[in-house]
Amino acid sequence: MAVTDGLLLHLSEPPAAAAAFRTFSRPRVAQAKRQAQATKRKYQASSAVPPAKRRSRATSLPAKKTAAGGPRRAPAGRAQTVSSPRKSAAGGRGRNQEQKPCVKTSSLFKNNPEIPELHRPVVHQVQEKVFSSGTFHDLGLHPHLVSTINTVLNMFTMTSVQMHSIPALLEGKDALVRSQTGSGKTLAYCIPVVQSLQAMKTKIQRSDGPYALVLVPTRELVLQSFDTFQKLLKPFTWIVPGVLMGGEKRKSEKARLRKGINILISTPGRLVDHIKSTKNIHFSRIQWLILDEADRLLDLGFEKDITAILNAVNAEGPERQNVLLSATLTDGVARLADVSLNNPVSISVAEEGPALSNPEGGGALDVSAPQTGDKLDSFAIPEGLDQYVTLVPSKLRLVSLVAFILQKCAFAEDQKMIIFFPSCELVEFYYTLFVQTLLPRPEALAAAPLPPGSTQLKFLRLHGGLEQEERVAVFQEFSLSQAGILLCTDVAARGLDLPQVTWIVQYNAPSSPAEYVHRVGRTARIGCRGSSLLILAPSEAEYVNSLASHKINVSEIKMEDILSVLTRDDCFPGRQWGKQKPRACSPQGIRERATVLQTVFEDYVHSSEETVSWAKKALQSFIRAYTTYPRELKHIFHVRLLHLGHVAKSFGLRDAPQNLGVSAVKKKKATPKRPDLRKKMQSKQRLAEVLRSEYASGMEAGGAKVAKQSQQAGQAAGQAARPRPEPGLGRGRKQKKKRSP
């Protein structure tokens, strides 16, 4: 296994950060010449320090001793309580660095791969007009419902998707609804459901049980949809909405089901659990079946559960209306809908091309039979969304991310950023690392308050491995916050309506263009502006073309522009940057400070064996996630293309762990006779496992969920050869009496 270009420095004074600064500030004429000639970008130029191995022996000290001591800081607030290792370590905005006699730092800017020029094709994004010219008054709804929409929700004008969906659904049609993220699809189905149920001739009784069943992929979405129904139902108190979702006590859910729920909102896994184990659940009066985020619900991770639910509903239920909604209803879903819905209308607000004609009508409406083909492969992107990509060598990924956080959140007020990671373990790792190294201790803050114009960073994290209570608390805290940085998995990618998010950062590329669209769709909602940044390694640059083939346009931000914030002395208050001032914004100054920052992370990670092994596990999780990219993206994201030593740097590890790649290789050797089939199965199985664990029903026992999940994920590869369950909807359709999606 390749080892990173480690560099050992023996220093008594000044402290570690300053030491790194000095090391990297030597004049390098030869190098400058090389730089001028090279086709490489200037930030990849090597440092002229001697190779690590030549210098290391005499100066090496065990990593543990090199870490700065100091009292441990109690993290502020509930959401910052973490279970990860938290030994005293270097770092922390404001932490004293003076104790460090010796530090091993690394040449971040050496031996990096060339950053290619990004020739991105310019494509015309599909766009939609968010608002229509119609008002809720125009729909002929119950006057109390209209006044609730106006006074409680403070909404008057309909969005385009609402203007077209609500009348169609009120006419009793099945529908496939596709419109961009943040365009108001939730109300597009909630309003017709409430209008139709309140108008029933025989007044609904609570004990009647469910009339409407709404399925969504995550618990947060359950709560969000429930909240909307609750508000709309204010004047119609006899109609009772209720939720079933993982993480809650099954007993109390059973009691609620016994009392009666008329509009039942649930995640698939939890509902299946109740179908199997609860006597009081029945679907004999179901009139509405809504699948929000339908493409996610119908894909690999949920097939089985949805099949079980459809079988249960079809067995009992009368004729009902079915509605599928998503910003990314794909070809497969449309075909499926074509054969399984009853004469459905397809409502799509999207319009091809840059200009929006038909401003009066609320965007081009396509109410037709479900479409297939190219049109469905291109997803509408909110007009107010500015999308960026940056190419960053693996070694520099961590410092670049942190520089970006500092640039966007430390010097501007009211910045809300969501950062997507590929697994729970990665979220936990970076969350703890950032809380431990980037936040000032309270006593440091008291002694030296933040410089004027800079903002205290606040980190939160959300993923499927957290206890339900904490998930709800984090979701609410981030929703209500004016500012903050939410580190999360794709559990937050779908449907979440978190107000005023200004930046979406993707630390890894998502596994499909649809997931990309949903992730970036957490900002620029309902006509607002927002921005997104996708971080790619140089070897992953081609992903930009893949996005372009789905009509997604991204502009490049150069890594050096991101790193340049580090030359601000106030960007990392309390940190000793060294006695010399860096040459303002010079490439050399940027390199020095990036190295200082990297040293902070490496010191923390190498402060104990426990933290090292924790970082290794996070790295392992990253690699595991990397193997789950689908076949069509494997030529871009293949684990063999990763330089593990360089990737290790982005986990604060100085060297690549020796045995990490081996497991993957070993598994390949245990190949059955059909490698083509086996490979396909393996990656699909892994993806399914990841999805299942991420969107789990929450029925598993409480306790150390994060640890349990990582263990499960660890087993996923071992289960790779297990046959995939039968595709659920096909089976469901055969067994169904009438119609089902």
Ligand X SMILES: Nc1ncnc2c1ncn2[C@@H]1O[C@H](COP(=O)(O)OP(=O)(O)OP(=O)(O)O)[C@@H](O)[C@H]1O
Whole-number Cα distances in Å, 633 to 47, 551, 637: 34, 17, 6
3-state SS assignment for residue 343: coil
Select 43 or 226, whichever has its Cβ closest to ligand X: 226
Select 146 or 612, whichever has its Cβ closest to ligand X: 146
Select 525 or 736, whichever has its Cβ closest to ligand X: 525
Mention every residue, 6+ apart, whose C-beta is less than 8 A from residue 238: 203, 204, 205, 206
Q: CA-CA distance, 4 to 51, in Å (whole number)?
A: 11
Q: By rule CB under 6 A, what string of x and - marks binding of each residue 140-159 to ligand X? A: ---------------x-xxx
Is 605 buried (19+), middle (13-18) or exposed (0-12) by CB count in 10 A? buried
Q: Is residue 400 a contact residue for ligand X (CB under 6 A)?
A: no
- CB 181, min distance to ligand X, A: 4
Find the Cα–Cα–Cα–Cα dihedral 18, 24, 29, 32, rounded to 10°.
Answer: -130
- CB 216, min distance to ligand X, A: 9
- CB 221, min distance to ligand X, A: 8
| Among 109, 114, 107, 112, CA closest to 53 | 107
Select 180 or 712, whichever has its Cβ closest to ligand X: 180
Q: By rule CB under 6 A, what string of x and - marks binding of each residue 285-324 to ligand X? A: ----------------------------------------
Helix (H) or strand (E) holding 530: strand 530-536
Of 18, 327, 514, 533, the residue at the interface with ligand X (CB under 6 A) is 327
Select 100 or 525, whichever has its Cβ closest to ligand X: 525
Q: CA-CA distance, 563 to 398, in Å (whole number)?
A: 11
Q: CA-CA distance, 247 to 252, in Å (whole number)?
A: 12
| Candidate segments 176-184, 264-272, 308-316, 402-410, binder of ligand X by CB under 6 A | 176-184
Select 245 or 327, whichever has its Cβ closest to ligand X: 327
- CB 179, min distance to ligand X, A: 6
- CB 326, min distance to ligand X, A: 7
| Among 524, 390, 523, 502, CA closest to 455 | 502
Residue carrying the six token digits 């059909």: 674
Mention every residue, 6+ apart, whose C-beta is less than 8 A from residue 88: 67, 68, 69, 70, 71, 72, 607
- CB 187, min distance to ligand X, A: 5
Select 179 or 394, whichever has its Cβ closest to ligand X: 179
Select 218 or 437, whichever has its Cβ closest to ligand X: 218
Of 125, 160, 181, 378, the residue at the interface with ligand X (CB under 6 A) is 181
| Candidate segments 181-189, 207-215, 579-587, 612-620, binder of ligand X by CB under 6 A | 181-189
Mention every residue, 6+ apart, whose C-beta is less than 8 A from residue 121: 545, 548
Report H helices in 286-371: 294-297, 303-316, 331-340
Of 110, 185, 397, 617, the residue at the interface with ligand X (CB under 6 A) is 185
Peptide bond into 440 cis (omega under 30): no
Work out the number of other CB atoms within 10 angstroms of the CB of residue 235: 15
- CB 306, min distance to ligand X, A: 18
Select 301 or 495, whichever has its Cβ closest to ligand X: 495
Number of residues that bind ligand X (CB under 6 A): 18
Q: CA-CA distance, 313 to 317, in Å (whole number)?
A: 5
| Candidate segments 183-191, 406-414, 597-605, 641-649, binder of ligand X by CB under 6 A | 183-191
| Among 346, 350, 348, CA closest to 127 | 350
Q: What is the DSSP letter of 299?
A: S
3-state SS assignment for residue 420: strand
Tokens coding 273 = 């659990």
Opening angle at CA 62, ends 60 and 65, nearest 5: 115
Contacts to ligand X from residues 630-689, by CB under 6 A: none
Sign of the dihedral through C-alpha 442, 446, 451, 453: positive
- CB 346, min distance to ligand X, A: 16
Is the backbone of residue 105 left (phi > 0), alpha (psi -120 to 50) or beta? beta
Work out the number of other CB atoms within 10 angstroms of the CB of residue 400: 25
Q: CA-CA distance, 97 to 89, in Å (whole number)?
A: 10
- CB 380, min distance to ligand X, A: 10
Select 327 or 552, whichever has its Cβ closest to ligand X: 327
Contacts to ligand X from residues 186-215, by CB under 6 A: 186-187
Select 145 or 187, whichever has its Cβ closest to ligand X: 187
- How far, in whole angstroms, is CA 205 from its chain's centroid? 40
Is 59 buried (19+), middle (13-18) or exposed (0-12) by CB count in 10 A? middle
Select 158 or 444, whichever has its Cβ closest to ligand X: 158
| Among 575, 560, 652, 645, CA closest to 21 | 575
- CB 587, min distance to ligand X, A: 40
Q: By rule CB under 6 A, what string of x and - marks binding of each residue 490-529 to ligand X? A: -----x-x-----------------------x---xx---
- How far, in whole angstroms, is CA 213 from its chain's centroid? 27
Select 165 or 307, whichever has its Cβ closest to ligand X: 165
Q: By rule CB under 6 A, what string of x and - marks binding of each residue 401-440 to ligand X? A: ----------------------------------------
Q: By rule CB under 6 A, what string of x and - marks binding of each residue 252-271 to ligand X? A: --------------------
- CB 188, min distance to ligand X, A: 7
- CB 161, min distance to ligand X, A: 7
Select 493 or 534, whichever has its Cβ closest to ligand X: 493
- CB 158, min distance to ligand X, A: 5
Mention every residue, 6+ apart, whose C-beta is less than 8 A from residue 223: 243, 245, 472, 475
- CB 189, min distance to ligand X, A: 9
Contacts to ligand X from residues 466-495, by CB under 6 A: 495
Q: CA-CA distance, 379 to 517, in Å (whole number)?
A: 7
| Candidate segments 175-183, 206-214, 479-487, 638-646, binder of ligand X by CB under 6 A | 175-183
Select 79 or 327, whichever has its Cβ closest to ligand X: 327
Select 399 or 493, whichever has its Cβ closest to ligand X: 493
* Chain contacts with ligand X (rule: CB under 6 A): 155, 157-159, 162, 181-187, 327, 495, 497, 521, 525-526
